[in-house]
Structure 1
Amino acid sequence: MSTIILLWENFGPMHDDRVRALVRACGGKARIVGLELFGKSDTYAWDNEAGDDFEKITLFPGQSHSLSRTLKIAAVIVRHCRALNADQVFLCHYELPAILLAACMLRLLGMKVYAMGDAKFDAYKRHLWREVGKSFFFLPYVGALSNEVRSKDYLRFLGIKAGRIAAPYNTISIDRLRRLSGTVPAPNGAAFADRHFTIVARFVREKNLEMALEAYAIYCRAADAPRQLHLCGSGELEPLLRQKVEELGLRDLVEFRGFLQSDGIAQALGTTLALILPSVQETFGFVVIEAQAMGLPVLVSENCGSRDTLVRTGVNGFVIEPDNPNGLAFFMSLLGRDEALWQRMCVSASSFAEKGDVDRFAEAVMTLVADF
């Protein structure tokens, strides 16, 4: 029996979703194993599930990432892949020296190695010499899992052949989210008049939340009865954002809900009018799929990778410029008062959500491994 291994630094709910989907897709014809390097994440405070319904191994339990252990991390990855008799190994975090070293060693041992990632060329300012050097990191890989359009183009630029790139990579379980929400997708469920705007993001500069608050203040000044704005997340900028709310006179309209696990996010989106994601730097934006799973229009910046295949302006949301608070405020006002438009967009959003479902990820993996 063939053994397929998928490795991430730390498993969150979306990683569990993807492994489970691949197990279902294989139907017992291949052994699927999830490897996580560390038992906790330095970036996200998500709950780490036991993974009882699929094979999951934590290489360094109770620890988080450390660059000082490059050789040890690579050696442990290779040792486990050999012990599991892996044929195909999918590795995330290609930029880490430990992953590069492990990928090279696995190839030398005869295993097929694939990269997984959502990077795109316009994520931030690029420098030619760094990009040339980065292409070296992809030499061990026979293929890759990525996202459509910009992410695929970037991988081709770095040397992966177009025919060896499958998509989508960033996916979650639509069914799980809807069950966790405790309600039904919009436009059903909560009444139009009772819904609020929601932002789900880490409180860091890249998410552009100060601009979002400025846009919300513009919207509030123009609205007779402005809807609330819920901020779901945490991070280093929380004191600054709270101060900004006070300065803009929005204390009674903005609710800070803290970091939410999957069930909390699903429930928050279940009473939301539209999701806002105004990032200046966003490789993808998982929350767009979560919002669409709950039938919500999205207001996203053009920088978000998810807009390539999931967002169509005027159909299931609007794409904005990240430096244009007036534009964001305009679309908030439009959705906030036009129920017929909102309902049409809700129906479309639900149909687009299927593009980000984990079954699509499983199909992409099977496409790659079937070529060998």
Structure 2
Amino acid sequence: MSKRPNLVRRTVFPSSVSRAVVTPLQPSVVYSSPSPDALDDQYEGRAKGYTYGREGHPNADVLAGMIDRLEGGEGGIITGSGMSAVTATLLGLLSAGDHIVGGNQLYGRSLRMMTQDLPRWGITSTLVDPTDVPAMEAAITPATRLMLVEVVSNPTLRIADMEGIERLAKDRGLILVIDNTFTTPYGFPAYARGADVVIHSVTKLLAGHSDVTLGYVLARDPDHRKAIYDTNVTLGLTPSPWDCWMAERGLYTFDMRFERAQANAAAMAQLFADHDAVETVLYPGRSDHPDHNRAGALLDGQWGNMVSFRLKGGRAQANALTKAAPNLAFAPTLGDVGTTLSHPASSSHRGLTPEGRAALGITEGFFRVSIGCEPLELLQHDFTVALDAAR
């Protein structure tokens, strides 16, 4: 026998009468159980434990519990990305022959999944303006099983008629799925307001630093929850323990970031409106927003950090603006601690025809801005310089 000490899987983690203040990061892919009977107890629900990282791990459960408390529910599931949360929900709850009624300004990849990917599995969709409940009702067929909406649309920031949609879903026995990424639980308590399933891209405002990629799903019905969980595990939409640990850290400052960014957004919406290079400003907190009254009732004054505006002019003015603002990240994301600019015509909505974009009001001069937590005077300076260049 070798005289060398064996260090492989023989080192015992030190015990302690004190505990770590910071949640331990546990990157283990597998977990050891004491016996086959103990493993049966875990799988059959008589004991709590972990087996294989794809089926769950402590860092994911810690993060899920935190977001559960924000939404006011329990049993949330962490997934590998926001789109994996959408995927696990739709594939977990729907079968061939089923039909979805969805908002027509959902996140671009959600739209792609509904219009290009799901039809290959025999699941069809109809996309409707979520501010028009009669149109949504007219889209329902005998095969409709689920409705998928966002409270605030991307990128034109229209406000869905959530009261009407909630009533419609309940009356027609449909599963109401709300993607609450834009609004967050602080802007709209989706679960408390009647959603059957709530989805978040944790990547965005909840984590808030553009350094993790995660999703979250909360289902009210235990059978729905199990179906979504099983789909997530089977498809391998596994969240990284590291990303979960980082997102947990980000959540500790979520309320402060949310309030700071929201206050900045209101001030910047006014600056955009006052500048002569800007044709239109879209911000739910402004009285000239087409859905301002509905937003006031739904959002309770939490107008959010997203502002959109339309420049006078087109692509040349858009290029001039971004080139004159090197400190404002031109990137197709939102919810970062810093401000980011998105140009839908060249990113999220590039797949639409010019006519399709025009129907939504998305011109070559259209920008969506995710306002961050920078000092307001710095944002005002950078945007003034950029808008002057685009004039």
TM-score of the superposed pair, with normalisation by structure 1: 0.35
TM-score of the superposed pair, with normalisation by structure 2: 0.33
Higher helix share: 1
